[in-house]
Amino acid sequence: MCSSLPIDSLQSVAQEMGVDVRSKAFAREMDARDKLAPLRDEFAIPKAQDGNDAVYLCGNSLGLLPKRAQTLVAEEFQVWAESGVIGHHQHRHGRPWVTIDEQVVGKSATIVGAKPAEVAVMGTLTANLHFLMVSFYRPTAQRYKILLEKRAFPSDTYAVKSQIQFHGYDPTTAMVALEPREGEYTLRHEDILAAIEEHGDEIALVLFPGVQYYTGQLFDIQGITEAAHRKGCYAGFDLAHAAGNVPLRLHDWQVDFACWCSYKYLNSGPGSIAGIFVHEQHFDNPALPRLTGWWGHEKTTRFDMSDEFTPSPGAAVYQHSNPSVLNTVCLLGSLQVFERAGMEQLREKSLLLTGYLEFLLQDLVQKFNMKIITPRSPSERGCQLSILLDCDVDTVFPQMMAAGLICDERKPNCIRLGPTPLYNSFTDVHRAAEIICRVMTAASAKSA
Ligand SMILES: *Cc1c(COP(=O)(O)O)cnc(C)c1O
C-alpha cells in the first residue's frame, strides 16, 4: 500500500502557499481553508488564565460542551416545569421522553457503522460491559478464557476478573493478558493473532479496545474479529477511545458486541449515557442469556405492565431502565454536530492535525529525550499522541496548564495530547507545540 503521510501533504500545501510549514502563518492559513473550522463555534472553549481560549487537547478524556446541548437541556427543563409527567408523551419540542432514545440511536449507529437496530443507548460503559459479558462470556470447562491486553483500562480488567470469578473460574488461569514485546510500547497485530491461534480453543471471548487509552494505538478490529471467529471465540470491543475518533464499521466487520462511553470524543458530558452494539446475527440467538428490565420490553406493549417479558427487537432488548433524558439530549446536541461533519471528513482532518502535531514536536522530542509511544503509522492510531517525558510529569505539567494547554498526564511521565477535528484548529496545534517547547526549555534550564 502506498499512501503518503499527512505531513507530506501539509508540506506540499505550505510550499504552494509559499510559507514555512513551521510558521504560525501556515497554521492560520490551514484554518482558513478548513471546511470544518466553523464547527468550533458549536462548542464552548475553556479559557486560559490570560482570558484567551485555552488550547484544549483533552477530547480523549472529556469532550467539550456542544452549545446545542445547553439549549436542548433548557428545553427539557421547560417541558418538565410546564408539563411534569405529561412530557413522557406530549412534548412541545417533539421529543416525548418515552422514546427519547430514538433521537440518538440512528445517529450513534452511523458513528460506529452499525444498523440502527444493532445499537442501544443506555446506562454507563463499565456496567454495559458487564451486561454484554453476561451474554457473551459463557465459560465451559474447555472454553473459559478471556483474551485481553495486560494494560487494559483498569475498569475493563476489573470487570473481566470479576466476571471470571462470578462464573467460578480463576483469573490467574482464565485471563490471557497480552503484553507488548520487551522494549516496545504497543502490541503487534501478528502477536495478537498468534495468541488467538495458540489459546483459541480455550478462549471464550476476545475483548479488545478499539483505540488503546494510554498509547493511542488503533487496533485492527476486523482482523482480530476474523481471527477470533476462526477459533470459535466471540469478539467484543470497548470503543471508549474509538467512537467518534476513527471511522468504524462494526456491522461489516462482524463484531459480536461492542460498548462505548460518550463523554470522550462524543462530547455528551461527564458521566453521560453510553452505547452498546450487538450484531444482528445474535438477535435470535437463544443461547445468549440476558439480564433484563422493563425498558427492554417491546415498546408498544411495555406499559401494559404484563409479567411476561416480550423482548424488543434488536439491541434495544438490553435496555433496563428508562434513560436519563437530560443526558440523552446532551448526546443529541453533539451528534447533531457530528452529522454536519461526517466521520470520513473528520478523520481526514484528524490525520492532518495529528500528523502536524507529531511533526512540530519532532525536534523537541529529540532535544528533550522524549518518546512518542503512539504508533507512527496514521492507520494505527486515532487523534491522540502519547508522549513519555524524560522527567517527572509533575515538574512540567502544571506549567503547561498554566500556559493554557489543557491536556492530561499519566504518572509518572506520560502526557496525552488529543487534537480533535470537531473543535481543534491547526493554530491550536501550533500553540500547543510552542507551549510544550517553552515549558520543556525552562524546565531543563532549571534542572541543569
Ligand atoms: C473511559 C473508559 C472507561 C470508563 O468507564 P465508565 O464506566 O464510563 O466510568 C472504561 N474503559 C475504558 C477503556 C475507557 O477508556
Closest atom of ligand 1 to 127 CA is: 7
Q: Which three cell numbers stand for residue 143?
A: 472454553
> How sure is the predictor about 3, in pLDDT bands with cuts at 50, 70 and 90?
low
* Residue that has been written with the C-alpha cell 421547560 in this structure: 78
Q: Which three cell numbers stand for residue 412?
A: 509518572
Percent of the chain with pLDDT over 90: 96
* pLDDT tens, residue by residue, 402-446: 999 999 999 999 999 999 999 999 999 999 999 999 999 999 888
385, 386, 383, 387: which is closest to 421 by C-alpha?
Answer: 383
Question: Is there a single domain that holds both residue 182 and residue 235?
Answer: yes
Residue 263, marked binder: yes
Residue 202 in domain: yes
158, pLDDT greater than 80: yes
Residue 361, marked binder: no
Question: Is there a single domain that holds both residue 289 and residue 356?
Answer: no
Residue 255 in domain: yes
Q: How far, in Å, from the CA of 127 to the mean position of ligand 1?
A: 10
Count: domains in the chain: 2
2, pLDDT greater than 80: no
Q: Which three cell numbers stand for residue 245?
A: 475518533
Q: Which three cell numbers stand for residue 111?
A: 458513528
3-class SS at 187? Answer: coil
Residue 258 in domain: yes
Domain boundary among the residues 304, 319, 339 is at 339
Question: Is there a single domain that holds both residue 112 and residue 234?
Answer: yes
Residue 200 in domain: yes
Question: Is there a single domain that holds both residue 308 and residue 396?
Answer: no
Query: Average pLDDT over the chain, rounded to whole?
Result: 96
Residue 328, marked binder: no
pTM of the model: 0.97
β-sheet bridge partners, residue 408: 416
Question: Is there a single domain that holds both residue 267 and residue 310?
Answer: yes
Structure confidence at residue 284 (pLDDT):
86
3-class SS at 351? Answer: helix
Rg (CA), the chain: 23
d(CA 40, CA 427): 12
Residue 1 in domain: no
d(CA 67, CA 69): 5
Q: Which of 213, 264, 276 to mutate to test the pocket of ligand 1 (most atoms within 8 A of CB)?
A: 213
Q: How far, in Å, from the CA of 355 to the mean position of ligand 1?
A: 26
* pLDDT tens, residue by residue, 238-296: 999 999 999 999 999 999 999 999 999 999 999 999 999 999 999 988 889 999 999 99
Question: Is there a single domain that holds both residue 111 and residue 153?
Answer: yes
Cβ(333)–Cβ(326) under 8 Å? no
24-38, 197-211, 239-253, 281-295: lowest mean pLDDT where? 281-295
Q: Which of 130, 131, 155, 262 to mutate to test the pocket of ligand 1 (most atoms within 8 A of CB)?
A: 155
Domain ranges, residue 424: 6-64+343-447
Domain boundary among the residues 320, 339, 358 is at 339
Alpha helices, DSSP H, located in 207-324: 221-230
Domain boundary among the residues 322, 339, 356 is at 339
Residue 124 in domain: yes
186, pLDDT greater than 80: yes
Residue 253 in domain: yes
341, pLDDT greater than 60: yes
Amino acid 165 reads Q
Question: Is there a single domain that holds both residue 51 and residue 99?
Answer: no
d(CA 433, CA 428): 9
Q: Which of 61, 124, 125 to mutate to test the pocket of ligand 1 (most atoms within 8 A of CB)?
A: 125
Task: Give the rounded distance of the alpha carbon of 168 from its chain centre.
Answer: 32
Question: Is there a single domain that holds both residue 97 and residue 125?
Answer: yes
Long-range contacts made by residues 185-193, C-beta under 8 angstroms, separation at least 24?
185/215, 185/373, 186/212, 186/215, 186/217, 186/373, 186/374, 186/375, 186/380, 187/149, 187/217, 187/219, 189/219, 189/220, 189/223, 189/224, 192/219, 192/224, 192/227, 193/223, 193/224, 193/227
Question: Is there a single domain that holds both residue 414 and residue 310?
Answer: no
Residue 50, marked binder: no
The number of beta carbons lying within 10 Å of the beta carbon of residue 391 is 16
113, pLDDT greater than 90: yes
Question: Is there a single domain that holds both residue 318 and residue 247?
Answer: yes
Q: How far, in Å, from the CA of 261 to the mean position of ligand 1?
A: 7
Residue 88, marked binder: no
1, pLDDT greater than 50: no
Pocket of ligand 1 (CB under 6 A): 124-126, 153, 155-156, 209, 213, 238, 240-241, 261
Residue 155 in domain: yes
Question: Is there a single domain that holds both residue 285 and residue 348?
Answer: no
Amino acid 438 reads R
Q: What is the CATH number of the domain that holds 335?
A: 3.40.640.10
Q: How far, in Å, from the CA of 311 to the mean position of ligand 1?
A: 28
21, 15, 226, 270: which is closest to 125 by C-alpha?
Answer: 270
3-class SS at 106? Answer: helix
Question: Is there a single domain that holds both residue 302 and residue 381?
Answer: no
